[in-house]
Amino acid sequence: MRPAELDRVTVAEAADRYVELVRARTLTGGLSAATAEVYARDAATFVALAGADQVLDDLTGEDVDAILLAFARKPDGRRPSTTGQPPSSSERPPAASVGSSVGSSVGQSPSSQARFRRSISALFKHATLAGWVQVDPMAASTVTARQRGGLRPERRALTREQAQGLVGAARSLERSPGEGRRDQRTELRDALVVLLLATMGPRVSELVRANVEDFFTNDGVRYWRIFGKGGRTRDVPLPAVVAGALDAYLARGRAASPDKALLLSWRGRRLARGDVQAVIDRVQARVDPAQRRSVTPHGLRHTTATHLLADAVDMDAVRRVLGHSDLSTLGRYRDELPGELEVAMRVHPLLRGPDPAQ
């Protein structure tokens, strides 16, 4: 159980206590000496980046993000620096730098970044149990560790204006396909890819796995039978605009091929997962720069969930659209939107209709 009172220890003191505990575990065989030293080294780096005199409980998720990214940029001593003088690793960047690029040729390797995140996660987990922090700030961190690609800011939903700009660019492609040989034009396919991702939020694996036969009509409504995780399937109705884009692509844009895949390259082969980002980027290039923001396929899945939920669509319906087995999973896909609280208060349900003062 957690202690009744919070112990406001500094970062340095918390790290010292934690490392002492970790090293004690080597005496009982619970941890190897080499692993304990890795934890100790990472704890020392954490102290240098966070600030030794900083109170541990005062660190926020944004602070953790800044620390993780500062570590990612920290020169790797095993590789030579190309700049001559490496930047000081003791300078802690502002939280606003979370969106900066990481993973330069002289920075930490992806595996080192992932290991460092695990180390400080373990430290904060112990700190929560010991009563050194009220809330584990790792839960609010938006920077995650990946074995490939290193640390990166979590992908987020597009705003309504950005999403509408992207959808509008896709629809303009559908209305005015380009010049050249019909079997080498990809505009209708690109439009369909973006519309499916932005309005229905499939996983990229579900999108590229789709076959023509997975789309059917029932009572005048077009459906997509999506084959998702764990062998589960879901039938999701297509918005009218998306159904129109599908029909246009099948009639005029899909390359002739015996392959049953829905999305084909101009050579007639099934589109690969890695090709989808290039499709999004091509459509994004047509968006007005004031509305443009780079986004990944998974970011468009966030976009679908966020805007459906923001528009008061039933949570269980959104869960079924995305193919989640549990409602609790939706929390990871719901992102804050600028101005949404102001809108919510303007249209408060208790203040609609008759004057409440009467």
Residue 345 in domain: no
270 phi/psi in degrees, rounded to 5: -60, 135
With a threshold of 0.85, does the pTM exceed it? no
90 in the same domain as 129:
yes
Residue with tokens 């999701």: 236
Q: Which domain holds residue 32?
A: 11-153
Residue 88 in domain: yes
110 in the same domain as 247:
no
327 in the same domain as 182:
yes
- Cα distance between residue 65 and residue 54, in whole Å: 16
Mean pLDDT score of the chain: 80
Q: For the chain, what is the domain count?
A: 2
- pLDDT band for 82, please (50, 70, 90 cuts): very low
Residue 181 in domain: yes
Tell how far CA 43 is from the center of its chain: 27
212 in the same domain as 87:
no
- pLDDT band for 258, please (50, 70, 90 cuts): confident
* Residues 116, 121, 122: CA angle, nearest 5 degrees: 100
What residue spans of 210-327 are helical by DSSP H? 240-248, 273-284, 297-310, 315-322
What is the Cα Rg of the chain in Å? 25
Sign of CA dihedral 54, 57, 60, 66: positive
- pLDDT band for 332, please (50, 70, 90 cuts): low
307 in the same domain as 181:
yes
**Last residue within a domain, chosen from 153, 183, 203:** 153
Residue 34 in domain: yes
Residue 118 token pair: 């695990």
304 in the same domain as 182:
yes
Residue 90 in domain: yes
**Last residue within a domain, chosen from 121, 153, 185:** 153
- Between 229 and 146, the more confident residue is 229
Residue 353 in domain: no
Instruction: Point out the residues that are catalytic.
Output: 203, 229, 298, 301, 324, 333
Residue 199 in domain: yes
Residue 344 in domain: no
CATH code assigned at 281:
1.10.443.10
Question: At 216, which amino acid appears?
Answer: F
Cα distances from 40 to residues 134, 230, 244, 354, in angstroms, run 23, 40, 59, 65
Do residues 175 and 155 make contact, with C-beta atoms less than 8 angstroms apart? no
Residue 227 token pair: 């084959």
